[in-house]
């Protein structure tokens, strides 16, 4: 754990925060508050002193260690709440009932779905008041419908969770993910001009934040270009484009990764169709115009 500002602790996750682990942020105040529980057993030392756990979104890698915080009250954005409260809601948001789901649980190193009891649902503009620190909820959808960031105004510090500035780029592999919302959320972060950006899967970023956010968004454009290039070579179905592994370089023989790729490619195709850049034939072939 590393105190990045007075009373604000960056809890680095196992394996430098690489999926399926995710960094947490611990905030000290009249009540102590933890954002996300994906960091690892290191969280054990916070278990007894944490009154509130705030979840940035419903993804399993951000709540792996929820069970350590039995005595804390949990909250999440209302749009993502179904994804942690019931398996049915998790399937509805993630689409994972459409694949061999065992491979997914292995991927996140969890046995299966365990529900989280949510005490309070928050929304854009809500505050958590810890006395000396106030934390403002920033609804930053796209990755998931209820994905949120958290602004600590006193330090102009934002925890942006899975707007994570990794080289992989934005991830929108659930049917409920939204490409346009993701773009808008990245732009909103740029407008907010934080002095320190902390994410779920990278080290804290203090320099060239704007540039890095722009480069992160540009990965979406790169995927668009790769798809257009492939379709210019030859028209293809969604399944054929998915097999080209434009987004994931490898699927490791895992149906679940192939599924995420297909969902992401589909979102690009919808956006390119809407933009009049490609068209679709009656036999489901996509053609570049």
The answer to whether 200 contacts Zn ion (rule: CB under 5 A) is yes
| Token pair recorded at residue 177 | 């993910």
Which residues make beta-bridge pairs with 35? 25, 54
The answer to whether 258 contacts Zn ion (rule: CB under 5 A) is no
Our separate counts of H helices and E strands in the chain read 7, 14
- Nearest CB to Zn ion, comparing residues 150 and 286: 150
Point out which span in 81-89, 192-200, 223-231, 271-279 binds Zn ion (CB under 5 A).
192-200
Query: Is the CB of residue 55 less than 8 Å from the CB of residue 69?
Result: no
Owner of token pair 């890698």: 61
Shortest distance in whole angstroms from residue 239 CB to Zn ion: 25
- Residue 237 vs residues 229, 231, 285: alpha-carbon distances, Å: 14, 9, 5
The answer to whether 59 contacts Zn ion (rule: CB under 5 A) is yes
The answer to whether 262 contacts Zn ion (rule: CB under 5 A) is no
- d(CA 111, CA 93) in angstroms, rounded, equals 19
Q: Cis ω on the peptide bond leading into residue 131 (within 30° of 0)?
A: no
Query: Is the CB of residue 21 less than 8 Å from the CB of residue 62?
Result: no
Q: Which of 162, 217, 224, 261 binds Zn ion (CB under 5 A)?
A: 162
Binding residues for Zn ion, how many (CB under 5 A)?
A: 5
- Nearest CB to Zn ion, comparing residues 184 and 243: 184
Shortest distance in whole angstroms from residue 197 CB to Zn ion: 15
Point out which span in 52-60, 71-79, 91-99, 246-254 binds Zn ion (CB under 5 A).
52-60
The answer to whether 22 contacts Zn ion (rule: CB under 5 A) is yes
């Amino acid at each position: 754990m590393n105190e990045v500002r007075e009373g604000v602790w960056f809890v680095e996750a196992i394996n430098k925060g690489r999926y399926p682990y995710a960094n947490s942020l611990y905030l000290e105040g009249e009540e102590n508050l933890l954002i996300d529980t994906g960091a690892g057993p290191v969280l054990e030392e916070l278990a007894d002193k944490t009154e509130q756990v705030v979840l940035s979104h419903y993804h399993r890698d951000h709540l792996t260690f929820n069970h350590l915080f039995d005595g804390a009250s949990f909250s999440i954005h209302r749009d993502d709440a179904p994804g942690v409260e019931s398996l049915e809601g998790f399937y509805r948001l993630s689409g994972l009932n459409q694949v061999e789901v065992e491979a997914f649980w292995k991927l996140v190193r969890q046995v299966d779905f365990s529900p989280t009891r949510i005490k309070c649902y928050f929304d854009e503009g809500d505050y958590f008041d810890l006395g000396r620190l106030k934390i403002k909820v920033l609804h930053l959808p796209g990755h998931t419908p209820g994905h949120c960031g958290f602004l600590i105004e006193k330090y102009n510090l934002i925890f942006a969770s899975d707007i994570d500035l990794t080289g992989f780029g934005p991830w929108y592999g659930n049917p409920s993910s939204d490409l346009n919302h993701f773009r808008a959320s990245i732009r909103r972060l740029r407008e907010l001009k934080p002095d320190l950006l902390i994410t779920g899967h990278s080290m804290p970023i203090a320099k060239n934040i704007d540039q890095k956010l722009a480069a992160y968004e540009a990965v979406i454009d790169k995927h668009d270009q790769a798809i257009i290039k492939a379709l210019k070579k030859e028209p293809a179905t969604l399944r054929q484009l998915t097999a080209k592994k434009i987004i994931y370089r490898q699927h490791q023989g895992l149906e679940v990764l192939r599924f995420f790729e297909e969902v992401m490619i589909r979102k690009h195709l919808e956006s390119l169709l809407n933009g009049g850049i490609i068209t679709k034939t009656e036999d489901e072939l996509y053609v570049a115009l």
